[in-house]
Amino acid sequence: MPLHLHRAERTDLLADGLGALLANPPADPFALELVVVPARGVERWLSQRLSHVLGRARDGDGVCAGVQFRSPGSLIAEITGTAEDDPWSPDALAWPLLEAIDCSLDEPWCRTLATHLGHFHSGAEAELRRTRRYEAARRLAGLFAGYARQRPRLLVDWLDGDPGDLDEDLRWQPPLWRALVARVAADPPHVRHAETIARLRRAPSDLPQRLSLFGHTRLACTDVELLDALATHHDLHLWLPHPSDRLWRALAGTNGVIPRRDDTSHRAVAHPLLATLGRDLRELQRGLPADPRTDEYLAGDARPDTLLGWLQSDIAANAIRPVGRSLAAGDRSVQIHNCHGPARQVDVLREVLLGLLADDPTLQPRDILVMCPDIESYAPLIMADFGLGDVVHGAHPAHQLRVRLADRSLIQTNPLLGVAAQLLALAGGRVRASEVLNLAQTPAVRARFGFTDDDLEAITGWVRQANIRWGLDRQHRRPYHVDFVHNTWRFGIDRILAGVAMSDDSNAWIDATLPLDDVSSNRVQLAGQLAEFVARLQHVLDSLTGARPLTEWLTAVADGIALLTRVRDADEWQSGQLQREFAAVSAQAGSRADTVLRLPDVRALLTRHLSGRPTRANFRTGTLTVCTMVPMRSVPHRVVCLVGLDDGLFPRLGVVDGDDALSRCPMTGERDIRSEDRQLLLDAIGAATEKLVITYTGANEYSGQPRPPAVPLAELLDTLDITTAEPVRDRIVVRHPLQPFDIRNVIPDELVPGVPFSFDPTVLRAARAATGEHCEPPKFISAPLPPPPPADVILADLVGFFKDPVQGFFRALQFTLPHDVDGVQDAMPVDIDALQEWTVGDRMLRDMLRGMTPEDARQAEWRRGTLPPGQLGWRRVTEIRDQAARLAREAHQHRAEQPGGAHDVDIDLGRGRRLTGTVTPVYGNRLVAVTYSRLDGRHLLESWIPLLALAAHDRGRDWSAVCIGRMRRGTGIRVQRLGSPDDDPVELLHELVSIYDAGRREPIPLPLKTSYAWAAARYGGDDPVAEARYRWKSSDRYPGEDQAPAHVRAWGRGAPLDDLMQPVRPGEECDGEDNRLGAYAARLWLPMLRAERTTA
């Protein structure tokens, strides 16, 4: 039986030819037709295409039945007798190769490999190198399998003891190959290959009489030899997509495998893209048998009169024919979109697709194919831009499109396999806080422990407050030479559990455990759930250590997943798939499943095994299909979109493996992934029947710096420029703005002819706002709010208001201002900043004032985990302790005369209003306040208002206040005394309540530091404006009060001081001041400044 060759420029023409062939049934009506396809996506499309041809009645229905679709690998496995178990496949070959390597490390010829694997090293270096063991064996197994398929003669010579012209640095491979062959209980690949060819030539195989290979663009030389032998007794049809019949005929007679550097076939190529993108097809033609029985070219219809049609017809003609061609104004058949990064590429893609669907009512999502070289990076962006139609009401119209992501990694599609990958990563790492929280947030783990969204938020807060950073416990940290328990999970969990029974201020701790003070009674069960989760996780991670057989590793991982996860009944398929994948890994190892492996070996093994493998159901389901470049490589679609053709990502980098003997002198027909990617682009160009859309990163999304397109894309642009009489690059390349709400997106003719580019109504509103009349942002309120009914004032509310009067306004409205939320930190602290120092010092000072000794305060703080480790933290906490102790001693000196007491105050403010509250503690006639902060007006004010209340309530006593804090510079102590007010205290309180009432109706210009600087300058005879501006305006080194969230919300970001110095309004008057800031500052601060008595 002969070999029949069928060629066409598009696979739909090949499919029609195949349909015509299959419509002529074989003699046996029950015989199956066998069609070998290169990918699952091609299989799905071809079966659907054939259903329109086979079994069709007059009404146009049809069915594709009696056709068996197979992959090339499965066909080769069947004819070589390795369908069930191929000992020479790379995954199976890795296990005897591991054994061969282990037994050969002391051999002189193996010194290079032994050094790479740490055989001659010791300590940490040896451990690091030994983690490469399985990965190196699997890589070498892949190389040997590649040699067997692409250059089998090389292995034959090695087996005979002849290394040939192998470079000196690779001379260890022949003896390793011989050691490997001795350990595989099967004929070597070249023997099996020769026997298979002889058997196929002697008699027909059990395969159907008629076979078809459809859509292949590269075949290894051994595959071609097997097919040629198979054609001896079978009717073998090769359906080959080839873009140019003229080039095929020009290269006729160039047969046989030769060194790639000697291949001159490119000289017959006249079209630039055929020269740069079509090397794989030229080498396939050279490798095919020279005398096929049939060499049939299936011609198609004429190409449309568009830029894409001209490009495809020129490729078919192997010529550039620009004469008489001019790009029409509405020709959008080729679109190249220059974008700022991947996110904008997906934004642009959805607008382009909506535009195409809107322009052509006959176009359906199933007619569009989106291919992406890096599907894993773009998948989340695509789902975010297309997949929210049922969630967000009134969202972008593209959210209504149905999108199917194909050939993603199993780790991404099966949550349990994702958990397995997370566990393997945790087992070999530091067990950082963020990593454990990420694991806790996976659906299967949440289901096992009953974690809700609120629970996870509370757990995150506990982790942050308990200062958990990394490490399970002290023992887990020892390999990192960190021998203390602070900031570990054991440390944090003990604090949380102790907080269930004791509070932080109980002045008690257990060994190194200080109770966490944020475990409320309604969170006790959650604390137990978290402790159980961490305990189980530690048990699982402890089981994933050491060296053990593969079977035990798989059991340990499966048991760990069962211990930490639970799936719903509807998701039981996840558990089944997990078991099947682990069983497949064990089956590949076969009798060597007891091979001892380390954790990095297992991680490398499972990562490779669980990489992306498309399933048939993911393609051609009627939705918009998004996949990598391979599965649907040459399947025709009305619209083909290529996303992410970025420089450096496409073609794949393809770093040459230094151990690959084939790469030293490659032969024609041998695999080159960069050439393969270029062929994929050529196939995609030919597969687009109406529109070709390409997006790439043409500018950095952060700096805006231009970036070049991928080299094949640049070659395409160069070719398009010479496809017509005039260059077309500037007309087909759309340079998109950085932001989707840029005005150019909504103006017709700016980005695309005649219409706006964007379909997003939100973008339109944003663009209108951005281009509208620029005006000052409106104030939070345009006028003061109506005054509330007169009511009594609580002293604590009055004091709280004057801690930040502007924020007090928003607090009264229950308006939440934006604030920074501290994230979970993974790194242990090595130093503390000024704010952290104040937090530690203030806490230690409060502890000492409650009666704790300085040493106990230091020990308690040491147990919080807020300080750097070891002597770094001990030295800092000692310095802070000494400072806090000096402040505490100073406070005790002023408090020691009398015990502290509480005084209730009830003051008539007039007009039916009263000020009530309790002042505590009061030491005789004195208030004593102490702070770890550097003493300034804010701290004096907190004592001044209670002092006024005492003076107004009991006028017969000489009240005073002592404020203690740190000096503005240095480590000294500052003591400031306030005496009884010179003016009537009731009048002063009435003035404060008047400010309080005004501040609850609008944001009043009374920032504390700025207003205090104004008043102090006025009181001291200095320039108040200069002093106030220094405190208000931010500088490069220090933030000013203009950056406070409350002030930004009230007056805008970066508001000048003049905005606070508006003319005084009625009722705000103050002698000597003509602006609001000055008037409020004087009313608040001058009475207090006059009451200052002495300063120490």
Phi/psi at 403 (5° precision) = -125, 135
The Cα 515–Cα 502 span in angstroms is 6
Q: Could you report the per-residue pLDDT of 649-703, keeping only the tens digit for each?
A: 999 876 678 899 999 999 999 999 899 999 999 999 999 999 999 999 999 999 9
- What pLDDT does residue 618 have? 56
Q: Contact 600/135 with Cβ under 8 angstroms?
A: yes
Regarding the domain delimited by 3-82+194-303, which CATH topology (the fold level of the hierarchy) does it fall under?
Rossmann fold (3.40.50)
Angstrom CA distances, 827 to 494, 579, 870, stand at 20, 36, 15
Domain with CATH 3.40.50.300 in the chain: 334-409+617-770
- What pLDDT does residue 504 have? 59
pTM of structure: 0.85
The Cα 799–Cα 806 span in angstroms is 13
- What pLDDT does residue 124 have? 80
557-581 as b/e, with b when 16 or more CB fall inside 10 Å?
bbebbeebbebeeeeeebbeebeeb
The least confident of 300-309, 585-594, 772-781 is: 772-781
Length of the chain: 1096
Comparing 350 with 63, which gets the higher pLDDT?
A: 350
The Cα 635–Cα 632 span in angstroms is 5
The Cα 93–Cα 541 span in angstroms is 29
Domain with CATH 1.10.10 in the chain: 90-183
Report the Cα–Cα distance between both ends of the chain, in Å, rounded: 111
**Which CATH code is given to the segment(s) 413-609?**
1.10.486.10
**Which CATH code is given to the segment(s) 90-183?**
1.10.10
Mean pLDDT of 575-584: 91
The Cα 134–Cα 131 span in angstroms is 8
Q: Contact 669/221 with Cβ under 8 angstroms?
A: yes
Helix, strand, coil percent values for the chain (each to nearest 5): 50, 15, 40
132-150 as b/e, with b when 16 or more CB fall inside 10 Å?
bbbbbbbbbbbbbbbbbbb
- What pLDDT does residue 616 have? 45
Among 460, 402, 408, which Cα is nearest to 433's? 460
The 3-class SS string of 1009-1053 reads HHHHHHHHHHHHCCCHHHHHHHHHCCCCCCCCHHHCHHHHHHHCC
Mean pLDDT of 475-491: 90
Domain with CATH 3.40.50.10930 in the chain: 3-82+194-303
Here the tokens at position 981 are 């007010």
The Cα 696–Cα 647 span in angstroms is 8
Phi/psi at 137 (5° precision) = -65, -40
Those residues whose C-beta lies under 8 Å from the C-beta of residue 277, and which sit 6 or more positions away, are: 678, 679, 681, 682, 712, 715
Grade residue 766 by pLDDT with cuts at 50, 70 and 90: confident
Here the tokens at position 440 are 């806790």
Q: Could you report the per-residue pLDDT of 3-37, keeping only the tens digit for each?
A: 899 999 999 999 999 999 998 888 787 888 999 99
Here the tokens at position 878 are 């000692």
CATH architecture of 334-409+617-770: 3-Layer(aba) Sandwich (3.40)
CB atoms within 10 A of CB 43: 22
- 602's torsion region: left (phi>0), alpha (psi -120 to 50) or beta? alpha
- What pLDDT does residue 59 have? 62
The Cα 460–Cα 436 span in angstroms is 10
Q: Give percent of the chain with pLDDT exceeding 70.
A: 96
On the question of pLDDT at 514 being above 50, the answer is yes
Q: Give percent of the chain with pLDDT exceeding 90.
A: 60
Q: Contact 883/934 with Cβ under 8 angstroms?
A: no
On the question of pLDDT at 941 being above 90, the answer is yes
Q: Could you report the per-residue pLDDT of 462-473, keeping only the tens digit for each?
A: 999 899 999 999
**What are the helix (H) ranges across 85-208?**
90-104, 111-116, 123-130, 133-150, 152-159, 173-183, 189-202
The Cβ-side half-sphere exposure at 453, using a 13 Å CA radius, reads 0
The Cα 324–Cα 724 span in angstroms is 8
Angstrom CA distances, 512 to 467, 515, 527, 862, stand at 14, 10, 19, 9
- What pLDDT does residue 1095 have? 56
The Cα 193–Cα 206 span in angstroms is 17
The Cα 592–Cα 178 span in angstroms is 19
Q: Contact 993/805 with Cβ under 8 angstroms?
A: no
Can you tell me whether residue 327 is helix, strand or coil?
coil
Write 48-54 long-range contacts (CB < 8 A, 24+). Answer: 48/620, 49/12, 49/15, 49/16, 49/19, 50/15, 50/18, 50/19, 50/22, 52/19, 53/16, 53/19, 53/20, 53/22, 53/23, 54/19, 54/22, 54/23
Those residues whose C-beta lies under 8 Å from the C-beta of residue 859, and which sit 6 or more positions away, are: 509
- What pLDDT does residue 60 have? 61
Q: Could you report the per-residue pLDDT of 367-425, keeping only the tens digit for each?
A: 999 999 998 899 999 988 887 655 556 678 888 888 888 877 777 788 899 999 999 99
Q: Could you report the per-residue pLDDT of 747-757, keeping only the tens digit for each?
A: 898 888 888 89
Angstrom CA distances, 370 to 71, 337, 360, 376, 440, stand at 23, 14, 18, 14, 34
- The mean of the pLDDT values for the chain is 89
The least confident of 41-55, 272-286, 384-398, 513-527 is: 384-398
Domain with CATH 1.10.486.10 in the chain: 413-609
Here the tokens at position 602 are 């297992």
Q: Could you report the per-residue pLDDT of 601-646, keeping only the tens digit for each?
A: 999 998 888 765 544 445 556 678 888 888 887 899 999 999 999 9
Grade residue 54 by pLDDT with cuts at 50, 70 and 90: confident
Q: Could you report the per-residue pLDDT of 262-308, keeping only the tens digit for each?
A: 999 999 999 999 999 999 999 999 999 878 888 899 998 889 999 99
Q: Could you report the per-residue pLDDT of 139-172, keeping only the tens digit for each?
A: 999 999 999 999 999 999 999 999 888 999 999 9
CB atoms within 10 A of CB 240: 23
The least confident of 389-398, 712-721, 984-993 is: 389-398
| One-letter amino acid for residue 659 of the chain | D
Can you tell me whether residue 642 is helix, strand or coil?
strand
The Cα 558–Cα 574 span in angstroms is 12
Query: What angle is formed at CA 141 by the lines to CA 138 and CA 143, rounded to 5 degrees?
Result: 115
On the question of pLDDT at 105 being above 70, the answer is yes
Q: Could you report the per-residue pLDDT of 178-225, keeping only the tens digit for each?
A: 999 999 999 999 999 999 999 999 998 889 999 999 998 888 999 999
- 814's torsion region: left (phi>0), alpha (psi -120 to 50) or beta? left
On the question of pLDDT at 84 being above 90, the answer is no
Phi/psi at 883 (5° precision) = -65, -45
Q: Contact 944/978 with Cβ under 8 angstroms?
A: yes
Residue 592 CA, distance from chain mean position: 37
